[in-house]
Amino acid sequence: MSPLTLLSQRIRPPLNASRFIALGVLWLAAGVGVGAVAWAYRDIIALLLNWTPALARGFALNILMGVLAMLAATVFGTLLGCLQVSLHRGLRQMAVLLTQLLRNAPWLVVVFLVMNLLPFEFQALDRWWQIPDWLKAALGLGLAGSGYVSEIVRGGIRSIPVAQWEAAASLALPRRKSLRLVILPQALRSMVPPWMSLYCAVTMATSLANLMGVEELMTSLQLRLTGQTRPDLLLPAYLYVFVAFFIYIYPISRYSRYLERKWSLYS
């Protein structure tokens, strides 16, 4: 072993120890800073914690709207995406037109149109059924997101080699069965990560329902802020909402990136 190697081994441990000490000091300083801020705003923090149960119910409605919106977007968008690769020219052009229209339409406008076009109630099974505003907002977001799902499905189908279509045709499978049994299962790997990213975007967009009077997280917060006369409460309150969305959205976003890297390496 050379003298330089021995010297580097002797010097390296103090450097690592110094890094750990510096990291510990930084964590200690950060803890002291957070503690000082928490002490300075202790009354605001106590008020926000008192509001938390009501805000949590509003946030649960955001999550429910996001799930239902993605369900509607997946159903309609998958249909549009499959029609975009149809051999029938008329169906293909219609699907492309609808996809581009939905992708380039402002989400708030689509939600507003759906909420005003759907009836307040409808009659079925000899009784009247009401359609709540939050469900209308979820369907509007689902319609707006279906254009993006359509492009995800079309891209996933196009990523499958033509040889797979030919292999399915050699087994005398109709095109519809080939798409359902052979192509779509293989395309799921490339479709799941962008689908999860779209779900994150749709969930964040559920806060638009606040403008339509739906009592979700933002509406619940604003109703409580109207009873306060403290301008210094606005920034911490909206920061609280930001943290709630971040805690829910960030792990899903990170996991979608992990799946994308994992499956791209696998491919």
**Are 130 and 120 contacting, i.e. CB atoms less than 8 angstroms apart?**
yes
Report whether pLDDT(128) > 90. no
Domain span holding position 204? 50-266
**Are 140 and 115 contacting, i.e. CB atoms less than 8 angstroms apart?**
yes
**What percent of the chain clears pLDDT 90, i.e. is strictly above it?**
43
CA distance linking residue 4 with residue 144, whole number of Å: 64
Name every residue whose Cβ is closer than 8 Å to that of residue 148 and which is 6 or more positions away in sequence: 73, 77, 102, 103, 198
pLDDT at 148: 95
Q: What is the CATH number of the domain that holds 70?
A: 1.10.3720.10
Biggest CA-to-CA distance, the chain: 93
In a domain, 240, yes or no: yes
Torsion sign, CA atoms 70, 73, 76, 79 = negative
Residue 213 phi, psi dihedral angles, 5° rounding: 85, 10
Secondary structure letter of residue 105 according to DSSP:
S
In a domain, 6, yes or no: no
Of 161, 162, 157, the closest CA to residue 179 belongs to 157
**Are 110 and 143 contacting, i.e. CB atoms less than 8 angstroms apart?**
yes
Of 223, 73, 55, 44, the closest CA to residue 144 belongs to 73
In a domain, 28, yes or no: no
In a domain, 90, yes or no: yes
Torsion sign, CA atoms 236, 238, 243, 244 = positive
Question: Which of 32-36, 78-82, 127-131, 227-231 bottoms out in mean pLDDT, i.e. has the lowest?
Answer: 32-36
CA distance linking residue 93 with residue 99, whole number of Å: 10
In a domain, 261, yes or no: yes
Report whether pLDDT(200) > 70. yes
226-257, pLDDT tens digit by residue?
Answer: 887 778 788 889 999 999 999 999 999 999 88
**Are 142 and 71 contacting, i.e. CB atoms less than 8 angstroms apart?**
yes
Model confidence at 261, pLDDT cuts 50, 70, 90, reads confident
In a domain, 15, yes or no: no
pLDDT at 60: 95
Name every residue whose Cβ is closer than 8 Å to that of residue 115 and which is 6 or more positions away in sequence: 133, 136, 137, 140, 212
In a domain, 185, yes or no: yes
Q: What pTM was computed for the model?
A: 0.81
- In the chain, the number of structural domains is 1
CB-CB neighbours of 113 under 10 Å:
14
pLDDT at 198: 95
Q: Is 80 exposed, middle or buried (0-12, 13-18, 19+ CB in 10 A)?
A: buried
Place of tokens 């293909």: 92
In a domain, 181, yes or no: yes
Name the 3-class secondary structure at 226. Answer: coil
